[in-house]
Chain A
Amino acid sequence: MQVEPLLPQAAPKPPLVPRPLSRAVDTFFYDNKIVRDFGIATVVWGIIGMLVGVLAAFQLARPEANLGTQFTTFGRIRPLHTNAVIFAFVGNGIFTGVYYSLQRLCKTRMFSDVLSKLHFWGWQLIIVSAVITLPMGLTTSKEYAELEWPIDIAITLVWVVFGWNMFGTIARRRERHLYVGIWFYIATFLTVAVLHIVNSAALPVSLFKSYSAYAGVQDALVQWWYGHNAVAFFLTTPYLGLMYYFLPKAAERPVYSYRLSIIHFWSLIFIYIWAGPHHLLYTSLPDWAQSLGVAFSIMLIAPSWGGMINGLLTLRGAWDKVREEPVLKFFVVAVTAYGMATFEGPMLSLKNVNAIAHFTDWIVAHVHVGALGWNGFLTFGMLYWLWPRLYRTPLHSKKLATTHFWLGTLGILFYAIPMYWAGFTQGLMWKQFNAEGMLQYPNFLETVLQIVPMYYLRGIGGVLYLSGVFLMMFNLYKTAKAGSLLANEKAQAPALLPAAEDPHAEGGHWHRWIERRPFQLAVGATIAILIGGAIEMIPTFLVKSNVPTIASVKPYTSLELQGRDLYIKEGCSNCHTQMVRPFRSETERYGEYSKAGEFVYDRPFLWGSKRTGPDLHRVGAKYPHSWHYNHMLDPTSMSPGSIMPAYPWLFDQDIDYSTLPSKISVLRQLGTPYPAGYEQQAVADARRQAASIVSDLKKEDIEVKSEKEIVALIAYLQRLGTDIKVKPEQAAAQ
């Protein structure tokens, strides 16, 4: 163990810019305990989230890793992983950094200790409720917004507490101007609030079931506006704010360029919002919206890189420190990973690249470069920097931290390279035609089995990365043991003079005007982030030609609706898309490409974002009922070698008809044209359809009771994508 002099108090540096000390000086205390608490939560949830991630990774390599229970099957585990790492690990990471830096940048204690505590425990409770409800299959299926409506409301409330506490602190600041880090915090707070409220809009059916306020194409647009900007405003802007505080602090160097930070802040938040549709290229989303997504994604390169440049150039003159200081090592890789991911993103938004990469593991690789590299490494660096300061003692072991750094870097490489390989391989295999004009790999499974070895390697990468986090936990624990928590850190600063007497209250660079006015800054940021979303969403909702109706498309029957809700509950859309893209390779494989009008009764839309298994939009009437029955009981019986888990519980559990009448009435309120009074007939109608499926199965010697869940699921699967094949006269006759 190395012993070195303590940094914060022991080495006071003369300020680079001398400041006149003519005013009365206030003494106050920074709340370090809340920072420590959020820091511990970050580490604990990080380990849990990544453990679940490693489990999910190996489930794709070996179906046995699904552990044979419904609570641990991939479809339910994968949302748990994403929620845990995004909202629990990164979320707590954000709050750790914000609570530490905001107090110091505003020269005041947090506005209210009560709000801080409410925020902390409220957030942890939300995560615990996610850990309980997601494995139970209580999910909306909308990616990164899977939590059901009561939890959504709780998130809103806790978010308000956070905002109240943050703006209260800003209002009480002893610093006239807001630092660039705080601009990013404010933009984060406001945008996440808007995204969360708009995307979570739904009508409840019961305590844990709701239907999205939007259907089909519109739901898809809202969801990916949200999904994309969750990446932007939960994983990117708050972390840029943290970078602007912790990187110059750790490097002890001035920020490279103030004016660069102004330009890249405003351009980033304005342009980011528009790019959501790049998640929906070659889908049934109107072409104009797709093109806007492409155009704005390309324009996003420079604003994103502005952050990277300002970070890396701030390190000029401190590169010798990078060699010795693990904190800076983490920061350098984090900022570089950010640069790589934000260059790759726009490239993936080009339609010709997207045609190959979308729905494959390439995207998985891309997001993990961002998540493991940018978010993970910045968090680790920040925690290693904070702990000695919170506990007033040097870090237990720099060597261990450096080992963590190398393990993590190796983990990222082991994760990303196989996934790029797998994505590229599979994307090309899907599209390959032979000389006879037929698909070279007509059997989807063949393209999966080709990349299973990559799934193993990726799992190993995850284990390496996670083992580094365990080292960090040990290192931080030992550091905390060696020191004692400085719960309330004494600080001094002069009070702000009234604006009339303050020479700093006017003039300066033109942007200083808004830096003195948090309210105007917040309004400006809100306007910047509302424009893009509004221009893309309003026409898609109001202009009818954007979703051409198809007369033969009818609402789901009550049994199909039950089956669809089971599809959602089991998380089928985590591996199966319902979106046949307009490519010859896809129409040959799956059938007619998907049309916008086919999804008008889909609440929520289930297009999916990844094809671990084949697309299911045209699976209806493709196989006999018995095929699905056998396949769900044991996928390998129908597809030898399949990596899909078995779903035996669907054969034991009864369909829950108790909420069916209210499902019908909620859907009617949202606009699905069920006839009046259908609520009363819905259950009987479902039982009738179930009985007919059961009798079909009996013809093939399969005995199943009509109230079992599998029957409803078969009803839904057999309906999928078939409406379009109904001739108009048939539809009229019905």
Chain B
Amino acid sequence: MLTSMKFRFPAALTIAALLLNSLQAVAQTPEAAAPAKVAGMSSQQLLFWVLISLLIFLLLVLLLSFVGIAVQMRPQLRKVYELPTVRHSWSGRVLGLLVGDATLVKGEVRDELLDHDYDGIHEFDNDLPPWWKYSFYATIIFAVTYVSYYHVAQAGQLQGAEYETEMRQAALLVSPDADDPNKLTTYQPLATPADLSEGKSLFASNCAACHGQNGEGKVGPNLTDEYWLHGGEVNHVYKTVKFGVTSKGMVAWKGKLSGKQILQVSSYILSLRGTKPAGAKEPQGEKETK
């Protein structure tokens, strides 16, 4: 027992020293960073952090010395704990935890049989394991706190408010997009092989189900002829892809494809013109010649 303690004590000290080192490192970071971002941190803030880290350091030292003393004095503490008047008091139980009395966690196992006999089954009447009992109390406290936090104090956000916050934060992250379906963009069709092949793979995974693997048209119209329902110029195609034509079942792809991806796929579609794939659907819309 004693040897193991001796063994553990230096280990604990080493860990503590390491902890302190890292803590000091943390404490120093703002100082080191201070000259760089003088505008970011005022001297008051700096002082605040230094004092806070100092406080934490002191508390840690205090805690460690307390644990150290407790470990060193365990035999004496145990003697105190074993006094009959101490043992059953509230503070006595804290002392018991300190000197490592396992029955305080596991309960006293007396294994005294009750005079119960059910088809040969007997029953002990052992204590409720304290760890179990106090966990139960803890969950009850949690439950009461939880309900009062949200519904009595009304301090927490319920799902509607939570959603609004989430959307507000998202709006800050996402650049305000000119989301006006009536406004036409002024892009030029992309022509590099990289963009077109990216457009092709986007087409295969998103558009082919309705427009056919080669744009020949299935549920959706043929995209390889010269006829267009919503305009065949790249910015018109871009608009159709981005905002969709809900009444006819064309999905709006904004939010699912990025602006660049929409331009890539629009450019790829235009590159299909005149390819005359097998099984092409009959023309729909108005003829547009380039």
Contacts and interface: CB of A to CB of B under 8 A. Distances in A.
A621 B249 CA distance: 7
Interface string B103-139: 0000000010111111111111111110011011001
A104 B128 contact: no
B25 interface: no
- Interface bracket on A: 35 or more
A301 interface: yes
B54 interface: no
A364 interface: no
B246 interface: yes
Q: Which of B122, B143, B160, B175: most chain A Cβ within 10 A?
A: B143
Given A257-B128, A624-B249, A582 B163 contact: yes
B205 A443 contact: yes
B170 interface: yes
B256 A442 contact: yes
Contact of A255 (B115, B124, B144, B210): B124
Given A255-B121, A255-B124, A439-B255, A291 B150 contact: yes
A179 B118 contact: yes
A296 B124 contact: no
A81 interface: no
B139 A582 contact: no
Contact of A302 (B119, B136, B218): B136
Interface in A612-668: 621-627, 630, 637-640
Contacts of B12: none
A245 interface: yes
Interface in B156-183: 158-160, 162-163, 166-167, 170, 173-175
B258 A438 contact: yes
Contacts of B124: 254-258
B151 A583 contact: no
A348 to B, nearest CB: 15
Interface string A179-201: 10100000000000000000000
A17 B146 contact: no
Contacts of A640: 208-209
Nearest to B165: A584
Given A305-B132, A582-B159, A583-B166, A291 B146 contact: yes
Contacts, number: 170
B151 A291 contact: yes
A584 B116 contact: no
Interface in A248-280: 248-249, 254-261, 263, 267
Given A179-B118, A299-B140, A260 B251 contact: no
B256 to A, nearest CB: 3
A438 B125 CA distance: 61
A521 B140 CA distance: 25
Contact of B122 (A254, A302, A309, A438): A254
A58 B222 CA distance: 38
A13 B120 contact: yes
Contacts of A306: 132
B3 to A, nearest CB: 31
B127 A257 contact: yes
B15 interface: no
B195 to A, nearest CB: 17
Interface in A437-460: 437-439, 442-443
Given A622-B246, A623-B251, A303 B136 contact: yes
B150 A287 contact: yes
Contact of A15 (B117, B142, B173): B117
B42 interface: no
Given A255-B123, A582-B163, A626-B249, A175 B143 contact: no
B116 A177 contact: yes
Nearest to B156: A291
A588 B122 contact: no
B147 interface: yes
Given A249-B121, A287-B150, A584-B170, A299 B139 contact: yes
Given A436-B174, A582-B159, A16 B113 contact: yes
B206 interface: yes
A295 interface: yes
Nearest to A317: B111
B33 interface: no
A625 B210 CA distance: 12
A282 interface: yes
Nearest to A257: B126
Contacts of A259: 125-128
Interface of A: 13, 15-17, 19, 101, 104-105, 107, 175, 177, 179, 181, 245, 248-249, 254-261, 263, 267, 282, 287-288, 290-292, 294-296, 298-299, 301-303, 305-306, 309, 313, 433-434, 436-439, 442-443, 509, 582-584, 587-588, 593, 621-627, 630, 637-640, 700
The 10 closest A-B pairs by CB, nearest first: A624-B249, A437-B174, A442-B256, A302-B136, A295-B143, A582-B163, A254-B122, A104-B119, A179-B118, A257-B126
14 contacts: A15-B120, A19-B117, A107-B119, A245-B119, A259-B127, A259-B128, A291-B147, A295-B147, A299-B140, A301-B135, A302-B132, A434-B258, A443-B205, A637-B218
